[in-house]
Amino acid sequence: MAQHPAHGAHEAHDSHEAHGSLKSYVIGFALSLVLTAIPLIIVLNDVLEGTSAKVVLLASAVLQFVVQLFYFMHLKEEGKPRWNLMVLILGLIIVLTIVAGSIWIMTYNSVG
Amino acid sequence: MLDNIKDFASDFFVTGDPLIYGADVAIVLTMIAVVTALTYFKKWKWLWQDWITSVDHKKIGIMYVIASLLMLFRGGMDALLMRTQLAVPNMEFLSPEHYNAIFTTHGVIMILFMAMPLMFGLFNLVIPLQIGARDVAYPFLNSLSFWLFFFGAMLFNVSFVIGGSPDAGWLSYPPLSELSHSPGVGQDFYIWGIQISGIGSLMTGINFIVTILKMRAPGMKLMKMPMFTWSVLSSCLTIILAFPILTVTLALLFIDRYLGAHFFTLDSGGNPMMYINLIWMWGHPEVYIVVLPAFGIFSEIAATFSKKRLFGYKSMVFALMSISLFSFFTWAHHFFTMGSGADVNAFFAITTMLIAIPTGVKVFNWLFTMFRGKLSFPTPMMWMLGFIPCFVVGGMTGVLLSVAPADFQFHNSYFLIAHFHQVLIGGVAFGYFAGLYYWWPKVFGFKLNEKIGKWAFWLWNIGFYVCFMPQYFLGLMGMTRRVSSYGWDKGWYELNLTSTIGGFLMGIGFLFQVWQILHSIKFMEKDTTGDPWGGRTLEWSIPSPAPMYNFATVPRVSEKDAWWEEKQRIAQGLAPTPKPQLEPIHMPKNSGIPFIMSACFFVAGFGFVFDWLWMAIPGLVGVAACMLYHSFNYNTDYYIPVDEIKRTEAAAGRAV
């Protein structure tokens, strides 16, 4: 906020890289709709059950996440150094630790 | 009507304890004195314009330091009350209920309202100066962080005289902290005090990451940053990943208490163990959050007072960054006795032992930095030297605790108490004291009296060992934490008495520090050089105290220890690096919004504590109104003209 005149070189850098095009937004939007529709159809119409249903639901959730990141969060377009990507990876590691760790630690405590 | 008021007051205020009545009187008298003094000396405007609304990182840093020293006083008083009780067991100096409240507030205050703000104070005072920046990345947010911390801390502290203190331990394990076992408001004060200041901590973490990554002086590559800056970066990364866990955990506890949910209750499918699991996912990284910057401080001090470059710069960076990541994989060692099975315990025992390796690397780096250096021993260096043996012993008892089978003996005994006080006092408190002594001349423009400082150091250091060494033995003799009394036939009396004497020695050490500050203000020894210690990094290249824009021209950096190298060049007769032309400096404008918004948060929190929606809702509306107002406020910055910069620099005796 306070600093920009001092870093004259930064000014050009700040003036936004390309943030996607109409085409990429439309593709992203379509993909996210499809990935939302798949689990809904499967569950509402009882197409799959049990483990196979869970696998498909989880897979479409993960794909949805990826689509959001690439088409709307512009993960690919970030210039170097890729802070956003690094932070995202670090965050994912921590989230994975929290979820998997809690499940593992609480296994023997979930009775009762 | 009168009876109604009486009823309300006897619930609302804490009654029945002479110690608390005494505190009530002291609080009221102090407040009257402060208000009278401000009015008499006509200082209200000064207070508002120069301090409360300031977005200057240096002033915010000073306010953090003052607030945290006050909290150190309160937390220290709590500690001495507990030690007094344990030195005279069965004398009912404190009732068991009062003792519960005191060990709870002691823990919360020392970690969250003393160590954290003192750390943020040092971040603010040093980081922008050290990386050649003119302020932090988000000055407004910085001010908001401070005021959220301040009002969160006030909300927590007010529980002492209004409503009743929390008394379920510093991490408030359920089911004790649930409505079923703690129906009073104390627990809600705990939740809201920590939540409100927690928002501030998270924002400070973000602020300093962005500042360090984006605002370094041109030429200062990441691997040329001063070590304190690296330590702050690693600490802040840990903050932004760990604090959300705390927020969510306490929010779930609040939902349990306020809306009758069953996340952590004993009945209806709740599981209190889940709370313990979650809170330590924050709690363990938290101790690394507070100790990493201390490591950075010691690295700066070791290099400066050895007149040598820091030994093993790269290994130090690697150690700091790996600790900030690995601190997330050790949390279950806090509850080995929970019964998660041998696999879980073995895994977390090994990760805990592994994390000692990077810490050990650092100790060797400091030792080799001093090896064959031109050593001098002013107070900052004394604290550094006191720290090394203390932290090594504390770290090794930590490794003992990490041995899961042995931990079944040590768990929640005084052995544990001695261990974590040794790393938190010997590491964190000694580190921040060292940092305060080291940067004091830079912040205030005068040096602190060395002689009184050394008295304070020895009192603290000796007091520490007298206080905590006996506790290791007490733990092995079977004394558990949080007992307010014990039988005379236990054989614990002598060691407890010794420990209490040590506690009071540290208390006297604190008084010496207060005396040292007052004495140094009275017989002020001005620092006219801006570089009283022969420093190595950029903050020592500007006048003390730093002008409001920090650097008249932004320095260009080409190597590590930029200021030291520049001094070497000048000493060799080479021309100093040419400075660019002065240009008007872009600065952020002061704003009262952070203070008002945080006050609204306080009102909302207080309303939720007492379940007064008529108070909580207007508070939240106030918060939203402040956000809205600031979103549409475009008048947030101004330029300092070149003439004014010239005048300021000339007044500080600098040629431009």
pLDDT tens digits for range B219-242: 999 999 999 999 999 999 999 999
CB-CB under 8 Å, B554 with A6: yes
| pLDDT at res. B48 | 93
| Alpha-carbon gap: B475 to the closest alpha carbon of chain A (Å) | 27
Tell whether B340 lies on the interface with A, counting CB pairs under 8 A: yes
CB-CB under 8 Å, A90 with B554: no
Rama region for B491: left / alpha / beta (φ>0; ψ in -120 to 50; rest): left
Tell whether B278 lies on the interface with A, counting CB pairs under 8 A: yes
Q: What is the pLDDT of residues B299-348, one digit of tens each?
A: 999 999 999 999 999 999 999 999 999 999 999 999 999 888 889 999 99
pLDDT tens digits in sequence order for chain A, 112 residues long: 444 444 434 444 444 556 678 888 899 999 999 999 999 998 888 888 888 888 999 999 999 998 998 888 888 777 777 888 888 888 899 999 999 999 999 887 655 4
| Alpha-carbon gap: B403 to the closest alpha carbon of chain A (Å) | 17
| pLDDT at res. A2 | 42
Show the tokens assigned to B206.
């973000």
Which of B422, B439, B110 lies closest to B296, judged by CA? B439
Contacts with B645 (C-beta within 8 Å, 6 or more apart), sequence order? B549, B552, B582, B585, B656
CB B401 within 8 A of CB B413: no
Mean pLDDT of B391-395: 95
CB B120 within 8 A of CB B148: no
ipTM: 0.83
Q: Scanning every residue of chain A, which has its alpha carbon at the shortest distance from the alpha carbon of B270?
A: A112
Count the helix, strand and coil residues of chain A and give each as a percent rounded to the nearest 5.
75, 0, 25
The dihedral built from the CA positions of residue B401, B404, B409 and B413, taken in this order, carries a sign that is positive
Q: Return d(Cα B438, Cα B300) in angstroms, integer.
A: 9
CB B623 within 8 A of CB B604: yes
Categorize the per-residue pLDDT at B200 as very low, low, confident or very high, splitting at 50, 70 and 90.
very high
Contacts with B355 (C-beta within 8 Å, 6 or more apart), sequence order? B323, B326, B327, B330
Q: Which range has the worst mean pLDDT, A51-60, B194-203, B491-500? A: A51-60
CATH class of B42-580: mainly alpha
CB-CB under 8 Å, A1 with B135: yes
Contacts with B581 (C-beta within 8 Å, 6 or more apart), sequence order? B553
H or E stretch covering A14:
helix A8-14
Which of B183, B182, B167, B161 lies closest to B16, judged by CA? B161
Angstrom distances, CA of residue B312 to CA of B299, B303, B427: 11, 11, 20
Angstrom distances, CA of residue B321 to CA of B123, B256, B316, B348: 17, 37, 9, 20
Query: What is the longest distance spanned by two Cα atoms in chain B?
Result: 85
CB-CB under 8 Å, B329 with A2: no
Q: Return d(Cα B465, Cα B421) in angstroms, integer.
A: 11
CB-CB under 8 Å, B586 with A6: yes
pTM: 0.92
Q: How many CB atoms lie within 10 A of CB B373?
A: 17
DSSP helix/strand/coil, B138? coil
Show residues of chain A in contact with B344, CB under 8 Å.
104-105
Show residues of chain A in contact with B637, CB under 8 Å.
1-2
Which of B215, B281, B585 minimises the CB distance to A98?
A: B281
Q: What is the pLDDT of residues B4-39, one digit of tens each?
A: 888 888 878 887 778 788 888 888 888 899 889 989
3-class secondary structure for B322-364?
A: HHHHHHHHCHHHHHHHHCCCHHHHHHHHHHHHHHHHHHHHHHH
